[in-house]
Chains A and B, each alone.
Chain A
Amino acid sequence: MKLTLLLPLLAFVALGVLLKSGIGKDPTLVPSPLIAKPAPAFDLPLLADQEQRLTRDDLLGTRYLLNVWGSWCPACQVEHPYITELAEGGELPVYGLNWKDEAGEAKRWLDYFGNPYRANLYDPSGRTGIDFGVYGAPETFLIDADGTVLAKHVGPLDAQIFAETFAPLLTAEPES
């Protein structure tokens, strides 16, 4: 048997292995290029009081979760109990990025569902969202004390995803 005649079969097998690797993955998920890079600088008013502002550098020294949400987003309601649970656990402060929302609506939403966030950044134009590469709420970023983005999850967060995506990164001591 001539080897060249086996080439089509070999190419086909390689193709099969490749296709097999794609099965079961969600092809719509886009990984963030920000991982292991410094979080983008932001300087935004707070939702509760727009006179006050919060910047990225204000949060240096703390390792925290940044949760992107909006009152218009049904999936944000789905994850809200878990976000609340996380925040109440107190190990990891949770900051909110209120994305492309209207302040009145957002406050009503928090009044109704409860406010677990240490503070909420108010980003009605979505510009900071673009800097963070947000493409659909809810999204959650884990940001290290030195301002590095450690991980990102797109979609509603729950205990299992937290354990898989974020928990392994938390065992490392935060750099000061």
Chain B
Amino acid sequence: MITAEWKPIEEMVGYLRGHKKVLVIGCATCVAECAAGGEREVETLAPLLAMAMQNDGNPIEVKSATLERQCEPEFLEAIAEAAAEADAIVSVACGIGMQLVAERYADTPLYPGVNTTSLSIREEPGLWTSRCAACGDCVLGFTFGLCPVARCAKSLQNGPCGGTRTNGMCEINQDTPCIWRLIVERATARGRLEDLTKVRPPKDWSNSPAGGPKRMLREDLRS
């Protein structure tokens, strides 16, 4: 799922000064799964924002809504009326949903209530960990199904750096396993350690965000 994390309330207060009627909108998919922008979080954030604006000397009227999906145009119509009444919208969906809202309700300022942070799984209750970096050049076929692009701090392609701690965790985060240690363990378990001894050439990043904004065109679907 796409994960997101609340922005500091002070940052949101900074956006909302001068506004009077604010609509806070959530999304019931990814950001609900990662407990940042689902109905529960929207209903928590809305009164918090109202209180923070009150304390800031800029009281606002806050309404809230949670859309089934903020990244699909058809679901945005549900807030048409509320959006028309608001003079600002705070979205706690991912950056994709936010931008669709900003486009559909282009006359109303849209502010982010969250930072979109990763493509992760929920590993345990309350713990999400990165799995994919959308690099556009998948290497899982060479790395025994474990991604060194998203899960190695240096996105190394040819094995672990010298920063693997004695306990097998990453130098830069005590709680993150060195993914190359796990790749080596899985290769060993399959009797295929030899596969990891081939030098992998430099990656082609042109199909990643580094290559410019993505435009995926499928002619077969455009008739």
**A joins B in a complex:** no
Q: Report which A residues bind B (CB closer than 8 A).
A: none
What is the interface of chain B, defined by CB distance below 8 A to chain A? none
